[in-house]
C-alpha cells in the first residue's frame, strides 16, 4: 500500500509514519506537512533516509500543491492527521482552525474522489461529542451520540467529520473516521498538558491548573492510537466511525499530582488559575465497536506509558525548553 500521511511531522502523525513502516515492510509512505509551529522534521529524523519514505512540505488547503502530488503519486490511502489542535489557540483565533480543519479536509476529499484514492481516513477527536457530567461515571459516548462541540477547535473537527460523511453518502467517497481520546507520549508539542507540566516541573516553575482541576480526560498512548488507525484503514468499513480510547480516566489535578510524584517534585508547584472558557468537564468514549468488530484493544498500560513519557522529556536538553512554553 502507498499511503499519504498528512501532518506527518507532528506528534501523532510522525508516530504513525514509524508505525506503518515498522509493521508493514511492503508499504511506502509519503509524508506531507506544512511545518507550522507544532510540526518538526526532527520527529522524522529516523525516516528521512528510508527509501520507503519521502517528505513534502505543503499545506493541505493548497489545491495547487496537493492535487499534482496525488496525480503523480497514485496513492492508495490518505490518512489525515493535519490539524490545528490546541483548544486555547482556537479561542484566540478560530479562523485558522476553520481553514485547516474544515477547508483543508475538503481539499483532501476532493482529491480522493478526483484521483481514485481507495481510502480517505479522517483522524478526529472525542471532543466533538461535547462533555459528560462528573457525577455519572457510567456514561460514555458511543459513535451514535450527538455531536455537541464546545470550542472552535472541536466544532471545526465535528464539521470535518460531517463533511467527510457527506462525501461518503453523496459521492460514495471511501471514508473512515476515528475519534480518539487524549493522546500522550514522546514528541508532543509542549503546549499540551502532559509535556507542559513535565517541563515546568523540571524547571521548578508553577504548574497552572484551570478552575478546580476536576476536569476528567481519558488518556491513550500514542502508539495505541496508531495501532487503531492502522487497523481501521485496512479492515474498517467505509462510511463508519470508530471511537478509540485508552480507558484511563483521570482528573487533570490527579494527573498533575501523579507527574509531580513520579518526578520527585512538591505539590506546592500547583497553581490554580481562572478556568478556560467553555471548559468541558469530562470526556469518555465507548470502544466496544472497534473492539468487537476489529479486535482492537489498547496495549500500553498507563503507569508504564507515563513513566516512559516522563523519561523521554527529561532526556531532552534543557536548552530545548522553550521559554514561551514555560510562561
Average pLDDT over residues 117-139: 97
Bridge-partner residues for 60, per DSSP? Answer: none
The per-residue pLDDT for 322 is: 54
Average pLDDT on 166-182 reads 98
230/232 Cα distance (integer angstroms): 6
- Residue 271 in grid coordinates: 497553581
Virtual CA dihedral for 292, 77, 6, 305, nearest 10 degrees? Answer: 30
Question: What's the rounded mean pLDDT across residues 233-261?
Answer: 98
Cite the active site residues: 126-127, 153
pLDDT averaged over every residue in the chain = 95
pLDDT reported for residue 319: 56
Q: In sequence order, what E strands does 69-136 have?
A: 77-80, 119-125
Residue 228 has pLDDT above 60, yes or no: yes
Total-model pTM: 0.95
pLDDT tens readout for residues 7-63: 999 999 999 999 999 999 999 999 999 999 889 999 999 899 999 999 999 999 999
Q: Tens of pLDDT along 262-288?
A: 999 999 999 999 998 888 899 999 999
Instruction: Quote the CA–CA distance of 221 and 248 in Å, as a whole number.
Output: 10
Please give the domain boundaries of the chain with CATH numbers for all domains: 2-183+220-247+282-300 (3.40.50.720)
Amino acid at each position: 500500500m502507498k499511503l499519504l500521511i498528512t501532518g506527518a511531522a507532528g506528534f501523532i502523525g510522525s508516530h504513525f509514519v514509524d508505525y506503518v513502516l515498522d509493521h508493514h515492510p511492503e508499504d511506502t509512505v509519503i509524508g506531507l506537512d506544512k511545518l507550522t509551529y507544532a510540526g518538526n522534521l526532527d520527529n522524522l529524523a529516523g525516516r528521512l533516509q528510508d527509501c520507503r519514505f519521502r517528505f513534502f512540505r505543503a499545506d493541505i488547503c493548497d489545491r495547487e500543491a496537493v492535487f499534482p502530488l496525488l496525480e503523480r503519486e497514485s496513492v492508495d490511502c490518505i490518512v489525515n492527521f493535519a490539524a490545528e489542535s490546541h483548544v486555547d489557540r482556537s479561542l484566540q483565533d478560530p479562523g485558522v482552525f476553520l481553514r485547516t480543519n474544515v477547508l483543508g479536509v475538503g481539499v483532501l476529499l476532493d482529491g480522493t474522489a478526483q484521483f481514485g484514492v481507495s481510502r480517505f481516513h479522517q483522524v478526529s477527536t472525542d471532543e466533538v461529542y461535547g462533555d459528560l457530567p462528573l457525577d455519572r461515571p457510567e456514561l460514555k459516548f458511543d459513535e451514535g451520540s450527538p455531536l455537541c462541540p464546545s470550542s472552535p477547535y472541536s466544532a471545526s473537527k465535528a464539521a470535518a467529520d460531517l463533511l467527510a460523511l457527506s462525501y461518503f453518502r453523496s459521492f460514495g467517497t471511501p471514508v473512515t473516521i476515528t475519534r480518539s481520546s487524549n493522546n500522550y507520549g514522546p514528541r508532543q508539542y509542549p503546549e499540551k498538558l502532559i509535556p507542559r507540566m513535565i517541563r515546568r516541573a523540571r524547571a521548578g516553575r508553577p504548574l497552572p491548573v484551570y478552575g478546580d482541576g476536576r476536569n476528567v480526560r481519558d488518556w491513550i498512548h500514542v502508539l495505541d492510537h496508531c495501532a487503531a488507525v492502522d487497523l481501521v484503514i485496512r479492515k474498517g468499513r467505509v462510511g463508519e466511525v470508530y471511537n478509540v480510547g485508552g480507558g484511563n480516566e483521570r482528573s487533570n489535578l490527579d494527573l498533575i499530582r501523579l507527574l509531580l510524584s513520579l518526578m520527585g517534585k512538591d505539590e506546592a508547584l500547583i497553581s490554580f488559575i481562572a478556568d478556560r472558557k467553555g471548559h468541558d468537564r469530562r470526556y469518555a468514549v465507548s470502544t466496544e465497536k472497534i473492539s468487537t468488530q476489529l479486535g482492537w484493544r489498547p496495549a500500553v498500560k498507563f503507569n508504564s506509558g507515563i513513566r516512559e513519557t516522563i523519561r523521554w522529556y527529561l532526556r531532552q536538553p534543557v536548552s530545548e525548553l522553550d521559554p514561551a512554553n514555560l510562561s
